[in-house]
Structure 1
Amino acid sequence: MAARSVLVTGCNRGLGLELARQLLGRARVFAACRDPAAPHAQELRNLASRHPNLVLVKLDVLNPESITEAARMVEDQLNGLGLNLLINNAGVYSKVTLETVDSEEMVHAYKTNLVGPLLTAKAFLPLLKKAAQGSPEKGMSCRKAAVVNISTVLASLEKSPETFYKPVISYRCSKAALNMLTRCQMLSYREDGILCAAIHPGWVKTDMGTQEADLTVDESVRGILTVLSALSEKHNGSFLNWLGKPIPW
């Protein structure tokens, strides 16, 4: 994508880890997760030990202070430059139905899948603006400045009848709200030259997607990065899948 710098949340495993891995040859990568020192982040630490352009960032999307501190740390690392791309990937998924979901589960999903990306984009907005202002690029692109929210086809209101074989109520509702956030960000940030989009990564073989899924993480991420490299002003505020095909809201 030729972006100078990218920050990805939820990098300790699955899609986030693979995004960090495949972005390494294209940009300076800030790989964020709740606790980079934890045992479940060992693979991420191993990757960072081999690649000096991969910087580990402690960022808990449930903790506003952690998000603010992460933004300060990244700003120091960028040394006066802006952040070209923020990928809000961290999320939670629970197999709850209308019969089994409770308020605690619903609030947790909204805090992680919606409020976390909202506060993260807000904290990194000054760096995104700086990247947009300092870029020689015309129009909009992920090389200039962009916020990409990892969403899901399960958040599509129009497609819900055909996808409801997986009720996953808290996941659906919180990701549908994330889609609305994406549209609001598009309307708010476009004057600053910041592109905003929501991306469905497909049904991926991860802890979240299970091994019954259609896509490997490698296939999904290759598709996502191809889509991101082609995004332009006409895609601002769009909802696309990993192949670049539009998904109805």
Structure 2
Amino acid sequence: MTALKACKILITGANRGLGLEIVKQLSEDSCQKHIFATCRDPDGSKSEALRELAKKHPNVITIIRLDADDPCSVKESAKKVGSLVGKNGLNLLVNNAAIVANGTVQTSSVEDMKNTFNTNVIGPLLIIREYLPYLQIAAKASGTPGMSCNKAAFINISTIAGSMTRIPSIYNQFPTLPYAVSKAGFNMLTVLAAEEIKADEILCMALHPGWVKTELGGDDATLEPKESVEGMLRVIGSLTEKQHGRFLDYTGETVPW
């Protein structure tokens, strides 16, 4: 399975796609964990698979409402999780929730630009801000030097569509300007957050999951969610301060900004 031994873990966008697969694989791990699986509408039809998974692992998975596009929801979720994590804090937060909108310079709507930026950049910013105190607690409680995802970490699930180096070669095939621009902003958020929190010894980095067959990735994608998540969890479990502020893919290879 995975070398990840973090005890308290929060996953955003956990009701479908990669988020759901991450929760599934972590819940099957032999290491004792408490997973906070967050999503926009825990009681809705799109969260049925997550609810069923939580029923199978009632002592491991707690479902929390968190809408990345709603600052009040982010704040309320942090209060709830904070009341549950205890004196050792939160070890790992995976910023996975995101939306996609297609378009080009000539066709992208103002609404799509605003919506993708709100969910993919402002949402993660607020999540990092609200949950930072609980990761600071975990970092201090660990009593160990250095950085790791078992101690305290923010992992931001990004994409090569947010890479200014890589996007030109795939833009004709994937004309998703609102998504690409928002993910480039997300990558900058990762770099600056990493700079701010390095003194707290909280690891922060961006991770590209590959092109995955999910609702977001589409049926033509080359990877199954299981394979992508297995790779990401191996990478996450191996991270140290050497990868702080970096951009890697699910195999551990560096992705250019």
Deviation digits for residues 183-219 of structure 1, max 9, x if unmatched?
0011000001100000000000001111110000000
1:220 is displaced (CA, Å) by 0.4
Whole-angstrom CA distance in 2 between matches of 1:200 and 1:78: 28
CA distance in 1, matches of 2:224, 2:25: 14
Paired AA for residue 46 in structure 2: H
Give, as a single letter, the amino acid of the residue that structure 2 aligns with 1:12: N
How many angstroms does 1:136 deviate by? Answer: 2.8
2:49 aligned partner, one-letter code? E
Secondary structure of the 1:31 match is strand
User: Matched residue pairs, number?
Assistant: 249
Equivalent-residue separation in structure 2 for 1:29 and 1:202 (angstroms): 24
Partner letter of residue 89 of structure 1? N
Alpha-carbon distance, 1:235 to partner: 0.3
Determine whether 1:122 maps to 2:129. Answer: yes
Q: Which residue of 1 aligns with 2:222?
A: 214
d(CA) in 2 for partners of 1:104, 1:196 = 30
Moved over 2 A (4+): none
TM-score, normalised via structure 1 length? 0.98
Letter in 2 for 1:36: P
Distance in structure 2 (CA, Å) of the matches to 1:237 and 1:94: 27
Measure how far apart 1:60 and its partner are: 0.5
Structure 1 unaligned spans of 5+: none
1:101 has 2:108 as partner: yes
Offset of 1:50 from its aligned partner? 1.0
Q: 2:29 matched to 1:30?
A: no
Q: Unaligned stretches of 5+ in structure 2? A: none
1:141 is matched with which residue?
148
Look up the match of 1:201: 209
Output the CA distance in 1 between the equivalents of 2:134 and 2:168: 40
C-alpha RMSD of matched pairs (Å) = 0.9
Is residue 2:17 matched to residue 1:14?
yes
- What's the CA shift for 1:138? 2.3
CA distance in 1, matches of 2:60, 2:226: 20
Q: Could you say which residue in structure 2 is the equivalent of 1:225?
A: 233
Identity of aligned residues (%): 43
Greater Cα shift, 160-169 or 14-23 = 160-169
Paired residue secondary structure (2:207): strand
2:198 to 143, 166, 190: 190
Question: Cα distance, 1:94 vs. partner?
Answer: 1.5
Q: Report what 2:78 is aligned to.
A: 71
Shift of residue 167, structure 1, vs aligned partner: 2.0
1:44 equivalent to 2:47? Answer: no
AA aligned to 1:108 is N
Moved more, 100-109 or 20-29: 20-29
Distance 2:178 2:243 in 1: 28
Residue 104 of structure 1, CA deviation? 0.9
CA shift, 1:79, in A, is 2.4
Q: Which residue of 2 aligns with 1:163?
A: 170
Within 2, Cα distance between the matches of 1:63 and 1:161?
32
The match for 1:237 is: 245
2: CA distance between counterparts of 1:205 and 1:161? 22
Q: Distance in 2 between matches of 1:203 and 1:94?
A: 16
The amino acid that maps onto 1:223 is: G
Shift of 1:232: 0.3
Distance 2:104 2:228 in 1: 27
